[in-house]
Copies of this chain bind each other. A is one copy, B any other.
Amino acid sequence: MPYFDAASAAPLHPVAREALLASLDEGWADPARLYREGRRARLLLDAAREAAAEAVGCRPDEVVFTPSGTQAVHSGVSGALAARRRVGRRLLHSAVEHSAVLHAAEVHTAAGGSCTELAVDRTGRVAAGDVAAALSPDTALVCLQSANHEVGTEQPVEEVAALCQEAGVPLLVDAAQSLPWGPVPGGWSLLAASAHKWGGPPGVGLLAVRKGTRFAPQGPRDEREAGRSPGFENLPAIVAAAASLRALRAGQETAGEAARLRKLVDRIRTRVPELVPDVEVVGHPVHRLPHLVTFSCLYVDGEALLHELDRAGFSVSSGSSCTSSTLTPSHVLRAMGVLSEGNVRVSLPYGTDGAEVERFLEVLPAVVRSVRERLGVPAAGRETVAATAGGGPEAAPAAAAEEPGEPAASAEPAGLVVDSLGKRCPLPVIELAKAILEVPVGGTVTVLADDEAARLDIPAWCAMREQEYAGERPAERGAAYVVRRRA
Protein backbone atom coordinates (compact mmCIF):
# COMPACT_ATOMS: atom_id res chain seq x y z
CA MET A 1 0.00 0.00 0.00
CA PRO A 2 1.45 3.39 -0.92
CA TYR A 3 2.51 5.25 2.18
CA PHE A 4 2.96 8.93 1.34
CA ASP A 5 3.60 10.42 4.76
CA ALA A 6 7.37 10.19 5.12
CA ALA A 7 7.38 13.65 6.72
CA SER A 8 5.56 12.16 9.75
CA ALA A 9 7.59 8.97 10.04
CA ALA A 10 9.49 6.78 7.65
CA PRO A 11 9.64 2.99 7.77
CA LEU A 12 12.90 1.69 9.18
CA HIS A 13 15.78 1.69 6.70
CA PRO A 14 17.06 -1.88 6.13
CA VAL A 15 20.52 -0.82 7.29
CA ALA A 16 19.01 0.61 10.47
CA ARG A 17 17.21 -2.65 11.10
CA GLU A 18 20.45 -4.62 10.77
CA ALA A 19 22.27 -2.23 13.07
CA LEU A 20 19.46 -2.32 15.60
CA LEU A 21 19.50 -6.10 15.76
CA ALA A 22 23.26 -6.21 16.14
CA SER A 23 23.33 -3.60 18.86
CA LEU A 24 20.50 -5.24 20.81
CA ASP A 25 23.05 -7.99 21.41
CA GLU A 26 26.15 -5.84 21.74
CA GLY A 27 24.86 -2.55 23.12
CA TRP A 28 22.31 -3.20 25.86
CA ALA A 29 24.64 -2.45 28.79
CA ASP A 30 25.31 0.87 30.48
CA PRO A 31 28.00 2.73 28.50
CA ALA A 32 29.07 4.48 31.71
CA ARG A 33 30.25 1.19 33.26
CA LEU A 34 33.82 0.01 33.17
CA TYR A 35 33.29 -3.73 32.60
CA ARG A 36 33.45 -5.31 29.15
CA GLU A 37 29.74 -5.04 28.32
CA GLY A 38 29.81 -1.37 29.29
CA ARG A 39 32.98 -0.68 27.29
CA ARG A 40 31.43 -2.39 24.27
CA ALA A 41 28.34 -0.20 24.62
CA ARG A 42 30.57 2.88 24.94
CA LEU A 43 32.40 2.00 21.73
CA LEU A 44 29.10 1.67 19.88
CA LEU A 45 27.87 4.97 21.27
CA ASP A 46 31.10 6.75 20.33
CA ALA A 47 31.00 5.34 16.80
CA ALA A 48 27.35 6.38 16.40
CA ARG A 49 28.21 9.89 17.56
CA GLU A 50 31.05 10.14 15.06
CA ALA A 51 28.86 8.95 12.21
CA ALA A 52 26.07 11.36 13.13
CA ALA A 53 28.48 14.27 13.50
CA GLU A 54 29.96 13.58 10.08
CA ALA A 55 26.52 13.55 8.48
CA VAL A 56 25.57 16.76 10.27
CA GLY A 57 28.87 18.44 9.51
CA CYS A 58 30.15 19.09 12.98
CA ARG A 59 32.46 17.58 15.62
CA PRO A 60 31.46 14.45 17.55
CA ASP A 61 31.76 16.25 20.87
CA GLU A 62 29.23 18.80 19.63
CA VAL A 63 26.51 16.15 19.21
CA VAL A 64 24.27 14.67 21.88
CA PHE A 65 21.46 12.20 21.38
CA THR A 66 18.05 13.03 22.82
CA PRO A 67 14.91 10.87 23.05
CA SER A 68 13.20 12.69 20.16
CA GLY A 69 13.50 15.59 17.77
CA THR A 70 10.93 17.40 19.91
CA GLN A 71 13.12 17.09 22.99
CA ALA A 72 16.18 18.14 20.98
CA VAL A 73 14.35 21.36 20.10
CA HIS A 74 13.06 21.89 23.63
CA SER A 75 16.51 21.38 25.17
CA GLY A 76 18.26 23.40 22.49
CA VAL A 77 15.96 26.40 22.84
CA SER A 78 15.91 26.43 26.65
CA GLY A 79 19.65 25.84 26.97
CA ALA A 80 20.59 28.56 24.50
CA LEU A 81 18.15 31.08 25.98
CA ALA A 82 19.30 30.43 29.54
CA ALA A 83 22.96 30.86 28.60
CA ARG A 84 22.26 34.27 27.07
CA ARG A 85 19.88 35.49 29.73
CA ARG A 86 22.14 38.39 30.68
CA VAL A 87 22.41 39.59 27.09
CA GLY A 88 18.69 39.61 26.55
CA ARG A 89 15.52 37.59 26.60
CA ARG A 90 14.13 38.02 23.09
CA LEU A 91 13.56 34.95 20.94
CA LEU A 92 13.07 35.42 17.19
CA HIS A 93 11.43 32.61 15.27
CA SER A 94 9.60 32.21 12.01
CA ALA A 95 5.84 31.89 12.04
CA VAL A 96 6.05 28.47 10.40
CA GLU A 97 8.34 26.68 12.87
CA HIS A 98 7.43 23.23 14.11
CA SER A 99 5.15 23.20 17.14
CA ALA A 100 8.11 22.02 19.25
CA VAL A 101 9.71 25.45 18.74
CA LEU A 102 6.45 27.30 19.32
CA HIS A 103 5.80 25.39 22.54
CA ALA A 104 9.31 26.09 23.77
CA ALA A 105 8.67 29.74 22.94
CA GLU A 106 5.45 29.68 25.00
CA VAL A 107 7.42 28.47 28.02
CA HIS A 108 9.93 31.27 27.45
CA THR A 109 7.16 33.87 27.31
CA ALA A 110 5.44 32.45 30.39
CA ALA A 111 8.76 32.82 32.24
CA GLY A 112 8.98 36.51 31.36
CA GLY A 113 10.88 36.31 28.07
CA SER A 114 9.65 37.84 24.84
CA CYS A 115 9.15 36.38 21.40
CA THR A 116 9.06 37.99 17.97
CA GLU A 117 7.48 36.01 15.18
CA LEU A 118 8.94 36.51 11.71
CA ALA A 119 6.26 36.59 9.03
CA VAL A 120 6.53 34.48 5.87
CA ASP A 121 5.36 35.18 2.36
CA ARG A 122 2.65 33.19 0.56
CA THR A 123 5.23 30.50 -0.28
CA GLY A 124 6.11 30.09 3.39
CA ARG A 125 9.52 31.73 3.15
CA VAL A 126 11.09 34.19 5.57
CA ALA A 127 12.89 37.21 4.07
CA ALA A 128 16.47 37.44 5.31
CA GLY A 129 16.03 41.21 5.37
CA ASP A 130 13.22 40.79 7.91
CA VAL A 131 15.55 38.82 10.14
CA ALA A 132 18.22 41.52 9.83
CA ALA A 133 15.66 44.17 10.76
CA ALA A 134 14.37 42.17 13.73
CA LEU A 135 17.78 41.40 15.25
CA SER A 136 17.96 43.67 18.27
CA PRO A 137 20.60 44.08 20.99
CA ASP A 138 18.44 42.02 23.36
CA THR A 139 18.00 39.10 20.96
CA ALA A 140 19.10 35.94 22.74
CA LEU A 141 18.37 33.38 20.02
CA VAL A 142 17.00 33.01 16.50
CA CYS A 143 15.14 29.82 15.51
CA LEU A 144 14.71 28.99 11.87
CA GLN A 145 13.85 25.63 10.37
CA SER A 146 15.83 24.49 7.36
CA ALA A 147 12.68 23.37 5.57
CA ASN A 148 9.03 23.33 6.48
CA HIS A 149 7.39 20.10 7.56
CA GLU A 150 4.00 20.87 6.06
CA VAL A 151 4.69 22.58 2.77
CA GLY A 152 8.34 21.75 2.09
CA THR A 153 9.54 25.34 1.69
CA GLU A 154 13.25 25.81 2.39
CA GLN A 155 14.38 28.81 4.39
CA PRO A 156 17.39 30.98 3.56
CA VAL A 157 19.30 29.44 6.45
CA GLU A 158 22.79 30.16 5.17
CA GLU A 159 22.02 33.85 4.67
CA VAL A 160 20.29 34.13 8.04
CA ALA A 161 23.18 32.30 9.73
CA ALA A 162 25.59 34.89 8.32
CA LEU A 163 23.41 37.73 9.61
CA CYS A 164 23.21 36.09 13.03
CA GLN A 165 26.97 35.56 13.17
CA GLU A 166 27.51 39.19 12.32
CA ALA A 167 25.15 40.21 15.11
CA GLY A 168 26.71 37.71 17.54
CA VAL A 169 23.39 35.94 18.05
CA PRO A 170 23.17 32.15 17.97
CA LEU A 171 20.97 30.50 15.35
CA LEU A 172 19.14 27.25 16.13
CA VAL A 173 18.16 25.34 13.01
CA ASP A 174 15.41 22.76 13.26
CA ALA A 175 16.65 20.44 10.53
CA ALA A 176 14.21 17.59 11.20
CA GLN A 177 12.85 17.60 7.66
CA SER A 178 15.95 18.42 5.68
CA LEU A 179 18.72 16.39 7.33
CA PRO A 180 17.83 13.20 5.39
CA TRP A 181 18.65 15.16 2.21
CA GLY A 182 21.98 16.64 3.22
CA PRO A 183 23.78 18.69 5.84
CA VAL A 184 22.54 22.17 6.66
CA PRO A 185 25.02 24.67 5.22
CA GLY A 186 26.23 27.80 6.91
CA GLY A 187 27.31 28.98 10.30
CA TRP A 188 24.45 27.82 12.47
CA SER A 189 25.11 27.48 16.20
CA LEU A 190 22.62 24.79 17.20
CA LEU A 191 20.88 22.14 15.17
CA ALA A 192 18.08 19.72 16.04
CA ALA A 193 16.91 16.67 14.13
CA SER A 194 14.90 13.48 14.47
CA ALA A 195 15.98 9.98 13.43
CA HIS A 196 12.60 8.55 12.48
CA LYS A 197 12.42 11.12 9.68
CA TRP A 198 15.54 9.67 8.06
CA GLY A 199 14.71 5.97 8.32
CA GLY A 200 16.05 5.51 11.81
CA PRO A 201 13.91 4.19 14.65
CA PRO A 202 11.80 6.44 16.85
CA GLY A 203 13.22 7.33 20.24
CA VAL A 204 16.26 9.18 18.87
CA GLY A 205 16.71 12.89 18.37
CA LEU A 206 19.92 14.79 17.83
CA LEU A 207 21.09 18.10 19.23
CA ALA A 208 24.29 19.69 17.96
CA VAL A 209 25.72 22.67 19.82
CA ARG A 210 28.75 24.10 18.06
CA LYS A 211 31.83 24.90 20.15
CA GLY A 212 31.82 28.48 21.25
CA THR A 213 28.04 28.56 21.59
CA ARG A 214 27.05 29.36 25.14
CA PHE A 215 24.76 26.69 26.45
CA ALA A 216 23.23 26.10 29.89
CA PRO A 217 21.15 22.91 30.05
CA GLN A 218 17.87 23.40 31.92
CA GLY A 219 15.91 20.94 34.05
CA PRO A 220 17.31 18.36 36.44
CA ARG A 221 20.99 17.68 35.84
CA ASP A 222 22.26 14.32 34.67
CA GLU A 223 25.73 13.13 33.76
CA ARG A 224 24.78 11.42 30.52
CA GLU A 225 25.15 13.00 27.08
CA ALA A 226 27.35 15.85 28.32
CA GLY A 227 24.62 16.87 30.75
CA ARG A 228 22.37 17.90 27.88
CA SER A 229 19.92 15.00 27.75
CA PRO A 230 18.97 13.18 30.94
CA GLY A 231 18.29 9.46 31.15
CA PHE A 232 19.87 6.20 30.10
CA GLU A 233 21.01 6.32 26.48
CA ASN A 234 18.68 4.56 24.02
CA LEU A 235 21.70 2.82 22.62
CA PRO A 236 20.50 0.21 20.13
CA ALA A 237 18.22 2.82 18.59
CA ILE A 238 21.02 5.40 18.50
CA VAL A 239 23.29 2.95 16.71
CA ALA A 240 20.52 2.17 14.21
CA ALA A 241 19.80 5.85 13.66
CA ALA A 242 23.43 6.65 12.95
CA ALA A 243 23.77 3.67 10.62
CA SER A 244 20.76 4.79 8.62
CA LEU A 245 22.00 8.35 8.28
CA ARG A 246 25.44 7.16 7.22
CA ALA A 247 23.88 4.83 4.65
CA LEU A 248 21.86 7.69 3.16
CA ARG A 249 24.95 9.85 2.86
CA ALA A 250 27.55 7.33 1.83
CA GLY A 251 25.81 5.49 -0.97
CA GLN A 252 25.23 8.49 -3.18
CA GLU A 253 21.77 7.18 -2.44
CA THR A 254 20.52 10.58 -1.40
CA ALA A 255 21.49 12.55 -4.45
CA GLY A 256 20.02 10.10 -6.92
CA GLU A 257 16.91 9.49 -4.88
CA ALA A 258 16.36 13.19 -4.22
CA ALA A 259 16.41 13.94 -7.94
CA ARG A 260 14.10 11.04 -8.71
CA LEU A 261 11.58 12.01 -6.03
CA ARG A 262 11.77 15.66 -7.08
CA LYS A 263 10.57 14.61 -10.52
CA LEU A 264 7.68 12.67 -9.03
CA VAL A 265 6.74 15.66 -6.90
CA ASP A 266 7.01 17.96 -9.92
CA ARG A 267 4.55 15.71 -11.67
CA ILE A 268 2.09 15.99 -8.77
CA ARG A 269 2.55 19.77 -8.64
CA THR A 270 1.74 20.03 -12.35
CA ARG A 271 -0.93 17.39 -12.76
CA VAL A 272 -3.11 17.90 -9.66
CA PRO A 273 -4.33 21.38 -10.68
CA GLU A 274 -4.99 20.03 -14.17
CA LEU A 275 -6.89 17.02 -12.93
CA VAL A 276 -8.81 18.51 -10.03
CA PRO A 277 -10.71 21.80 -10.32
CA ASP A 278 -10.31 24.46 -7.63
CA VAL A 279 -7.01 23.33 -6.18
CA GLU A 280 -4.23 25.48 -4.77
CA VAL A 281 -0.74 23.98 -4.71
CA VAL A 282 1.09 25.63 -1.82
CA GLY A 283 4.74 26.03 -0.84
CA HIS A 284 7.72 27.42 -2.74
CA PRO A 285 7.99 26.11 -6.31
CA VAL A 286 11.82 26.03 -6.29
CA HIS A 287 13.21 26.33 -2.75
CA ARG A 288 11.63 23.17 -1.42
CA LEU A 289 12.25 19.67 -0.15
CA PRO A 290 12.55 17.09 -2.93
CA HIS A 291 9.94 14.66 -1.65
CA LEU A 292 7.10 16.79 -0.33
CA VAL A 293 4.15 18.59 -1.93
CA THR A 294 1.03 20.09 -0.42
CA PHE A 295 -2.18 21.25 -2.03
CA SER A 296 -5.60 22.36 -0.82
CA CYS A 297 -8.93 21.57 -2.45
CA LEU A 298 -11.70 24.11 -2.29
CA TYR A 299 -15.07 22.93 -0.96
CA VAL A 300 -13.57 19.81 0.53
CA ASP A 301 -13.53 18.45 4.05
CA GLY A 302 -9.94 17.46 4.82
CA GLU A 303 -10.87 14.64 7.16
CA ALA A 304 -13.27 13.09 4.62
CA LEU A 305 -10.62 13.44 1.93
CA LEU A 306 -8.00 11.66 4.04
CA HIS A 307 -10.50 8.95 4.87
CA GLU A 308 -11.38 8.38 1.20
CA LEU A 309 -7.72 8.37 0.18
CA ASP A 310 -7.02 5.87 2.93
CA ARG A 311 -9.86 3.67 1.61
CA ALA A 312 -8.27 3.93 -1.81
CA GLY A 313 -4.99 2.80 -0.23
CA PHE A 314 -3.09 6.10 0.09
CA SER A 315 -1.71 7.34 3.41
CA VAL A 316 -1.28 11.10 3.43
CA SER A 317 -1.66 13.81 6.04
CA SER A 318 -3.42 17.16 6.21
CA GLY A 319 -3.22 20.58 7.83
CA SER A 320 -6.96 21.13 7.61
CA SER A 321 -8.66 22.17 10.83
CA CYS A 322 -10.99 19.17 10.83
CA THR A 323 -8.03 16.80 11.01
CA SER A 324 -6.55 18.45 14.10
CA SER A 325 -7.60 17.70 17.65
CA THR A 326 -8.02 21.42 18.32
CA LEU A 327 -10.13 22.03 15.18
CA THR A 328 -7.87 24.87 14.12
CA PRO A 329 -6.14 24.97 10.76
CA SER A 330 -2.40 24.44 10.62
CA HIS A 331 -0.47 27.46 11.85
CA VAL A 332 1.78 27.07 8.80
CA LEU A 333 -1.01 27.49 6.27
CA ARG A 334 -2.39 30.34 8.38
CA ALA A 335 0.95 32.16 8.39
CA MET A 336 1.18 31.74 4.62
CA GLY A 337 -2.38 32.96 4.16
CA VAL A 338 -3.30 30.05 1.93
CA LEU A 339 -6.39 27.88 1.75
CA SER A 340 -6.56 25.27 4.53
CA GLU A 341 -9.65 23.31 3.58
CA GLY A 342 -9.21 20.03 1.77
CA ASN A 343 -5.51 20.16 2.53
CA VAL A 344 -3.34 17.22 1.54
CA ARG A 345 0.36 16.72 2.22
CA VAL A 346 2.09 14.09 0.13
CA SER A 347 5.60 13.19 1.32
CA LEU A 348 7.23 10.35 -0.54
CA PRO A 349 9.48 7.91 1.30
CA TYR A 350 12.77 6.74 -0.15
CA GLY A 351 12.20 4.26 -2.96
CA THR A 352 8.63 5.34 -3.75
CA ASP A 353 7.53 3.63 -6.94
CA GLY A 354 6.65 6.10 -9.70
CA ALA A 355 3.70 3.89 -10.63
CA GLU A 356 2.20 4.53 -7.19
CA VAL A 357 2.33 8.26 -7.82
CA GLU A 358 0.57 7.74 -11.16
CA ARG A 359 -2.09 5.69 -9.45
CA PHE A 360 -2.53 8.47 -6.88
CA LEU A 361 -3.08 10.93 -9.73
CA GLU A 362 -5.64 8.58 -11.24
CA VAL A 363 -7.54 8.13 -8.01
CA LEU A 364 -7.46 11.68 -6.65
CA PRO A 365 -9.96 13.39 -9.00
CA ALA A 366 -12.74 10.90 -8.28
CA VAL A 367 -12.02 11.02 -4.55
CA VAL A 368 -12.24 14.81 -4.44
CA ARG A 369 -15.38 14.73 -6.57
CA SER A 370 -17.08 12.25 -4.25
CA VAL A 371 -16.30 14.33 -1.17
CA ARG A 372 -17.58 17.46 -2.87
CA GLU A 373 -20.74 15.71 -3.98
CA ARG A 374 -21.50 14.62 -0.45
CA LEU A 375 -21.15 18.27 0.61
CA GLY A 376 -23.55 19.36 -2.17
CA VAL A 377 -20.80 20.83 -4.37
CA PRO A 378 -20.94 19.63 -7.98
CA ALA A 379 -17.67 18.84 -9.65
CA ALA A 380 -17.27 21.83 -11.96
CA GLY A 381 -16.89 24.37 -9.18
CA ARG A 382 -18.15 27.92 -9.05
CA GLU A 383 -20.46 27.97 -12.04
CA THR A 384 -22.43 24.91 -10.99
CA VAL A 385 -22.33 25.86 -7.34
CA ALA A 386 -24.54 28.78 -8.31
CA ALA A 387 -26.87 26.60 -10.38
CA THR A 388 -27.57 24.26 -7.45
CA ALA A 389 -27.76 26.97 -4.82
CA GLY A 390 -31.37 26.18 -3.95
CA GLY A 391 -32.38 26.39 -0.30
CA GLY A 392 -29.15 28.17 0.52
CA PRO A 393 -28.47 31.37 2.36
CA GLU A 394 -31.06 33.49 4.04
CA ALA A 395 -31.45 36.97 2.60
CA ALA A 396 -31.07 39.71 5.16
CA PRO A 397 -29.56 43.17 5.28
CA ALA A 398 -25.80 43.02 5.73
CA ALA A 399 -26.06 45.49 8.58
CA ALA A 400 -27.51 42.74 10.74
CA ALA A 401 -24.07 41.32 11.09
CA GLU A 402 -22.44 44.59 11.98
CA GLU A 403 -22.11 46.35 15.28
CA PRO A 404 -25.26 48.40 15.93
CA GLY A 405 -24.85 52.06 15.19
CA GLU A 406 -21.63 51.60 13.20
CA PRO A 407 -21.84 54.50 10.74
CA ALA A 408 -19.70 52.96 7.99
CA ALA A 409 -22.27 50.23 7.54
CA SER A 410 -24.91 52.50 6.10
CA ALA A 411 -22.65 53.38 3.17
CA GLU A 412 -22.48 49.74 1.99
CA PRO A 413 -24.83 48.44 -0.65
CA ALA A 414 -27.32 46.00 0.82
CA GLY A 415 -26.16 42.39 0.77
CA LEU A 416 -26.75 38.89 1.93
CA VAL A 417 -25.95 37.48 5.33
CA VAL A 418 -25.05 33.84 5.46
CA ASP A 419 -25.38 32.26 8.87
CA SER A 420 -22.74 29.54 9.06
CA LEU A 421 -22.52 29.56 12.83
CA GLY A 422 -21.85 26.12 14.24
CA LYS A 423 -20.81 24.82 10.83
CA ARG A 424 -17.38 23.42 10.23
CA CYS A 425 -14.92 23.94 7.42
CA PRO A 426 -15.54 23.78 4.42
CA LEU A 427 -19.25 24.56 4.87
CA PRO A 428 -18.93 28.34 5.44
CA VAL A 429 -16.92 28.64 2.21
CA ILE A 430 -19.36 26.47 0.28
CA GLU A 431 -22.25 28.64 1.46
CA LEU A 432 -20.34 31.78 0.54
CA ALA A 433 -19.72 30.40 -2.97
CA LYS A 434 -23.41 29.74 -3.37
CA ALA A 435 -24.45 33.13 -2.00
CA ILE A 436 -22.05 35.32 -3.98
CA LEU A 437 -23.96 34.74 -7.19
CA GLU A 438 -27.18 35.92 -5.57
CA VAL A 439 -25.90 39.45 -4.98
CA PRO A 440 -25.23 41.98 -7.73
CA VAL A 441 -21.68 42.94 -8.67
CA GLY A 442 -20.60 45.40 -5.99
CA GLY A 443 -22.93 43.82 -3.47
CA THR A 444 -21.66 41.99 -0.36
CA VAL A 445 -22.07 38.65 1.29
CA THR A 446 -21.42 38.60 5.02
CA VAL A 447 -20.63 35.18 6.40
CA LEU A 448 -21.22 34.63 10.09
CA ALA A 449 -18.95 31.83 11.18
CA ASP A 450 -17.38 30.55 14.36
CA ASP A 451 -15.18 27.94 12.78
CA GLU A 452 -11.55 29.03 13.07
CA ALA A 453 -10.76 27.91 9.53
CA ALA A 454 -13.15 30.48 8.07
CA ARG A 455 -10.77 33.29 9.06
CA LEU A 456 -8.17 31.76 6.76
CA ASP A 457 -10.27 30.14 4.08
CA ILE A 458 -12.70 32.97 3.23
CA PRO A 459 -9.90 35.40 2.27
CA ALA A 460 -8.11 32.53 0.50
CA TRP A 461 -11.29 31.74 -1.44
CA CYS A 462 -11.55 35.42 -2.42
CA ALA A 463 -7.98 35.36 -3.75
CA MET A 464 -8.64 32.18 -5.74
CA ARG A 465 -12.01 33.39 -7.04
CA GLU A 466 -10.90 36.98 -7.58
CA GLN A 467 -13.57 38.35 -5.32
CA GLU A 468 -12.88 41.22 -2.93
CA TYR A 469 -12.32 40.35 0.70
CA ALA A 470 -13.67 43.38 2.58
CA GLY A 471 -12.52 42.35 6.03
CA GLU A 472 -13.67 40.85 9.25
CA ARG A 473 -16.04 42.46 11.77
CA PRO A 474 -16.79 41.51 15.32
CA ALA A 475 -20.03 39.61 15.85
CA GLU A 476 -21.96 38.32 18.82
CA ARG A 477 -20.71 34.81 18.10
CA GLY A 478 -17.65 34.04 16.00
CA ALA A 479 -16.95 36.75 13.42
CA ALA A 480 -18.58 38.34 10.37
CA TYR A 481 -16.53 38.04 7.17
CA VAL A 482 -17.51 40.48 4.44
CA VAL A 483 -16.97 39.65 0.76
CA ARG A 484 -17.81 42.03 -2.09
CA ARG A 485 -18.71 40.57 -5.47
CA ARG A 486 -16.40 41.74 -8.22
CA ALA A 487 -17.63 39.89 -11.28
What is A's interface to B at a CB cutoff of 8 Å?
1, 3, 5, 8-12, 17, 20-21, 24, 28-30, 33-38, 67-71, 74, 99-100, 103-104, 106-107, 194, 196, 201-205, 219-223, 230-237, 303, 306-307, 309-310, 314-317, 323, 325
Copies in the complex: 2
Are the CB atoms of A203 and B316 closer together than 8 Å?
Answer: no
* Residue contact B67 to A234, C-beta cutoff 8 Å: yes
Q: Name A315's contact: one of B3, B33, B205 (CB within 8 Å).
A: B33
Contact A70 B219 (CB under 8 A): no
A68, A104, A232, A316: residue with the most chain B Cβ atoms closer than 10 Å:
A232
Nearest CB of B to A349, in Å: 11
Candidates B1, B11, B204; contact of A36 at CB < 8 Å: B1
* From B202, B235, B303, B325, contact of A232 by CB (8 A): B202
Interface centre among A1, A303, A306, A310 (most CB of B within 10 A): A310
- CB neighbours (8 Å) of A202 from chain B are 28, 232-237
**A219 contacts which of B3, B11, B36, B74 (Cβ < 8 Å)?**
B74
Q: Are A307 and B34 in contact (CB under 8 A)?
A: yes
By a CB distance below 8 angstroms, the chain B residues around A221 are 103, 106
Residue of B nearest to A316 (CB): B35
Q: What residues on B are CB-neighbors of A10 within 8 Å?
A: 28
The contact sample of 23 A-B pairs, CB cut-off 8 A, is: A3-B35, A3-B37, A5-B30, A8-B29, A8-B30, A11-B28, A12-B28, A17-B24, A21-B21, A34-B307, A34-B323, A35-B309, A35-B314, A35-B315, A67-B71, A67-B231, A69-B231, A70-B232, A99-B222, A106-B221, A201-B236, A202-B233, A234-B237
A82 to chain B, nearest CB (A): 12
A310 to B273, CA, bound (A): 68
Tell me how far the C-beta of A49 lies from the nearest C-beta in chain B, rounded to whole angstroms.
16
Closest CB-CB distance, A315 to chain B, in whole Å?
Answer: 4
Chain B residues within 8 Å of A303, by CB? 34
In the complex, chain B residues whose CB is within 8 Å of the CB of A67:
67-68, 71, 203, 231, 234
How far, in angstroms, from A222 to B222 measured CA to CA in the complex? 23
A314 contacts across to B, CB distance below 8 A: 35
A223 and B325: CB pair below 8 A? Answer: yes
A-B contact sample (20 more), CB < 8 A, given A35-B310, A68-B231: A1-B36, A5-B29, A5-B35, A5-B37, A9-B28, A9-B29, A11-B28, A33-B315, A34-B310, A35-B309, A68-B232, A69-B231, A103-B222, A107-B220, A201-B234, A201-B237, A202-B237, A203-B204, A219-B219, A234-B237
Q: Is the CB of A36 within 8 A of B69?
A: no
Distance of A201 from chain B, by nearest CB (Å): 6
Per the bound structure, the CA–CA distance linking A99 and B323 in Å amounts to 42
Contacts of A219 in B (CB 8 A): 74, 107, 219
Chain B residues with CB under 8 A of A203: 67, 203-204, 234, 237
Report A98 CB to chain B, min CB distance, Å. Answer: 11
**Given the complex, which residues of B lie within 8 Å of A237, measured CB to CB?**
201-203, 234, 237
A24 touches B5 (CB 8 A): no
Given A106-B220, A222-B103, A34 contacting B69 (CB threshold 8 A): no
Question: Nearest residue in B to A11 (C-beta to C-beta)?
Answer: B28
Q: In the complex, what residues of B have CB within 8 A of residue A106's CB?
A: 220-221
B30/A9 in contact, CB under 8 A: yes
With the chains together, A231 CA to B73 CA distance in Å? 10
CB A288 to nearest CB in B, in angstroms, measures 22
Q: How far is the CB of A38 from chain B (nearest CB, A)?
A: 7
On chain B, the residues within 8 Å of A99 by CB distance are 222
CB neighbours (8 Å) of A205 from chain B are 231
Using CB atoms, name the residue of chain B closest to A235.
Answer: B202
Q: Are A33 and B317 CB-contacts (below 8 A) given A68-B231, A230-B71?
A: yes
